[in-house]
Structure 1
Amino acid sequence: MSNPLRQVTLDELKSRTSVKWRQYEEDVLPVWVAEMDVLLAEPVARAITDAVRRGDTGYPSGTAYAEALAEFATARWGWTPAVERTAIVPDVMLGVVEMFRLVSDRDAPVVVNSPVYPPFYQFVESLGRQVVEAPLTDARLDFGTLRQAYERAGRGAVHLLCNPQNPTGTVHTADELREVARLAREHGIRVVADEIHAPLTTGGFVPYLSVADDGLSLMSASKAWNLAGLKAALAIAGPAAADDLARLPEEVGHGPSHLGVLAHTAAFSQSADWLDALLEGLQENRRLLADLLAEHLPAVRYAPGAGTYLAWLDCRELGLGDSPAKTFLRQGRVALNCGVPFGTGGAGFVRMNLATSPEIITEAVHRMAKAWNEASL
């Protein structure tokens, strides 16, 4: 199967109306928000168009989505989530909010490992809860820091774990996840894992629920098959958390899109070959980015992660301050995510989306180098 990242031209991408291609002026090259520059996998596109042709646009029903994920997880990760311990939710972050409500008091603090996906802060704060940071060390979990964060948060708090980690691309190991589970039990903390990037891993992925029977996980085909506009996700409970998930209000299941459920089901059940081709393309893009940075911006430090399609670039040695993304946008006309909203450890960094063509990555680095050279004059 051909590389999905080489199938759409820049002119074709500019005709899209999603936020990635409409947030900035037309001359800005967008390599920021987590949308992929791909066409849909054929089975996914067929599932949607067939449903539209039938007029099958009502409410979601059944367990086909959970069954498809279970088969995929068994084949990829050697772990089989129990279909009866799943529930459909509108999307991962809204599902996270619902899990918080199930396992903690309304004012319980939430521990996060910064730098981390900015909506972790936004959703927690919108609930009126306190965020307690446990920053990563060299992009990995720091258990001394995590223990201190648990102690500050107190018993009854929640740990919102990002696995794989966004923005660093770190894929937590089984031993690391076991230690999270052990510390959480010791301190009376419940763990909710955002595992939306799980299919986008190389070298193995360990689901949190494979090592912790009292955890809750949110999974989705959204990131791996570019389905953000087709809302649907799954909440999954470990055996000891089944009673928690059983208390999920029935109306939460009214939020997901029926077309979304059909699309996500087709992704997990029929589109593994497309995903494999994508993963190969992402590996090529990681190598390309490393080579381009070494040639044009050697002061930028980049350690390719084993998960996600995101590159976390340390630009602190460029002398562009806490928000180098502003310089890259203003003088290079390339849009990247500023690291500051990712929390402690994000200042001086940018996040780059590698789920695009090699030509766009090349142009983005050239523009970044031009912007830095102009800023240095």
Structure 2
Amino acid sequence: MTRILHEPSGEPNPLRALGLELLRRRTSMKWRTYPDDVLPLWVAEMDVPLAEPVVRAVTDALAIGDTGYPAGTAYAEALADFAQKRWGWAGLAVERTAIVPDVMLGVLEMIRLVTGPGGAVVVNPPVYPPFFQFVTHMDRRVVEAPLGPDLRIDFGTLEETFRQAVAGGRRAAFLLCSPHNPTGTVHTAAELSAVARLAERYGVRVVADEIHAPLVLAGADFVPYLSVPGGERGLSLMSASKAWNLAGLKAALAVAGPAAAADLARLPEEVSHGPSHFGVIAHTAALREGTAWLDAVLVGLDDNRRLLADLLGEHLPAVDYRPGEATYLAWLDCRALGLGDDPADVFLHRGRVALNSGIPFGAGGVGHVRLNLATSPEIITEAVRRMAAAPG
């Protein structure tokens, strides 16, 4: 596949646009969970103004009272065009898509389609905590196949986990996080092809959460799981919500490989009632017209990764940080600081910085924190200063 390389967009860095005083006027979870003296660098919300095409599309809809129920395939068509231009992937067929409320609810619906009650769902911890919470609440078993020390898929472990998951003829699914949250790992075409081969060998169905796909740095290549040899039986969930900060405008797409179309066709009709009409409008505008804004964000995030590495090297050199190739999340190994199993608790109560505890991410999470880089350099700098003072 060929893809468009990121080029300077000419747009100002959105991560530098909003000051702390303005951000504290927000009423979303990131800014209202903790007291005002806490710097919130935890939940996956970005401290940015929305891309102008998104604002315009939603405002225009409001102006004419276009506040009904979603309809049509504009979102899927926009995603297919984006995939072609951005990733060189022409295999996203609009007729093999379905609109779902958001990525995690879509994941659950896909797992229901390909497994039964009590079935195993394999995950690669440390991984996004709702993979555990949501799956367990839907009467499925989470089975862990931890990442290797290099924070990449350990294929020996994955194969053994697949073998155990399907023992006795049980149906199983592999919930693949691609790119990986929290590590920022971008799986290669070779790795994804190896996943597909193992899945086919053991009869495991792959459901790929690809919500962070647009947030891949220049120099790294995102490869859609459905594009690799053997990925035809896979199911993917995609959305513009993370890359364009649209979590409050609910809409996502389930995408089926050619051999999984019949599975997607069994999706209950009522699932399509959950997405927001404004969500569909916003996500479509982002994919169609928001790429220059996205490229400006990606440049800003790359700057923030370097800034965080420099700040940690200066103020907290014992913290192990391996900058990821994707997402706006940083996975920090704080075990050498001697702050116990949950350093996020220490950083919150002593430093007044809110980070995600590594413990809910599963195996490999103890002693780690997840830090949200999608904010201004000034806030990152102040956060690290506070974190450095916390161990004392």
TM-score under structure 2 normalisation? 0.95
What secondary structure does 1:186 align onto? helix
Aligned to 1:8: 18
Q: Distance in 2 between matches of 1:342 and 1:266?
A: 33
Aligned to 2:227: 210
Aligned to 1:312: 331
Aligned to 1:231: 250
Letter in structure 2 aligned against 1:213: E
Q: 1:75 aligns with which of 71, 79, 85?
A: 85
Is this contact kept in 2: 1:159–1:190, CA < 8 A? yes
Letter in structure 2 aligned against 1:26: D
Aligned to 1:187: 202
Letter in structure 2 aligned against 1:174: A
Aligned to 1:148: 160
Q: Distance in 1 between matches of 2:388 and 2:339?
A: 12
After superposition, where does 1:112-151 map in structure 2 within 5 Å? Answer: 112-137=123-148, 138-151=150-163
What secondary structure does 2:365 align onto? coil
Aligned to 1:44: 54
Moved over 3 A (4+): none
Aligned to 1:35: 45
1:103 to partner: Cα distance: 1.1
1:321 to partner: Cα distance: 0.8
Percent of aligned positions with the same letter in both sequences?
Answer: 72
Q: 2:27 aligns with which of 7, 17, 23?
A: 17
TM-score under structure 1 normalisation? 0.98
Letter in structure 2 aligned against 1:152: Q
1:260 and 2:279 matched:
yes
Segments of 5+ residues of structure 2 without an aligned counterpart are 1-10
Tell me the number of residue pairs that the alignment of Structure 1 and Structure 2 aligns.
Answer: 373
Q: 1:323 aligns with which of 342, 358, 371?
A: 342
Q: 1:246 aligns with which of 238, 243, 265?
A: 265
Q: 1:102 aligns with which of 113, 135, 143?
A: 113
1:106 to partner: Cα distance: 2.3
Q: Distance in 2 between matches of 1:153 and 1:2?
A: 49
Is this contact kept in 2: 1:232–1:261, CA < 8 A? yes
Letter in structure 2 aligned against 1:185: E
| 1:267-314 deviations in Å (ceiling 9; x for gaps) | 000000000000000000000000000000000000000010000000
Segments of 5+ residues of structure 1 without an aligned counterpart are none
Is this contact kept in 2: 1:89–1:253, CA < 8 A? yes
After superposition, where does 1:286-365 map in structure 2 within 5 Å? Answer: 286-365=305-384
Q: Distance in 1 between matches of 2:265 and 2:138?
A: 22
Moved more, 99-108 or 168-177: 99-108
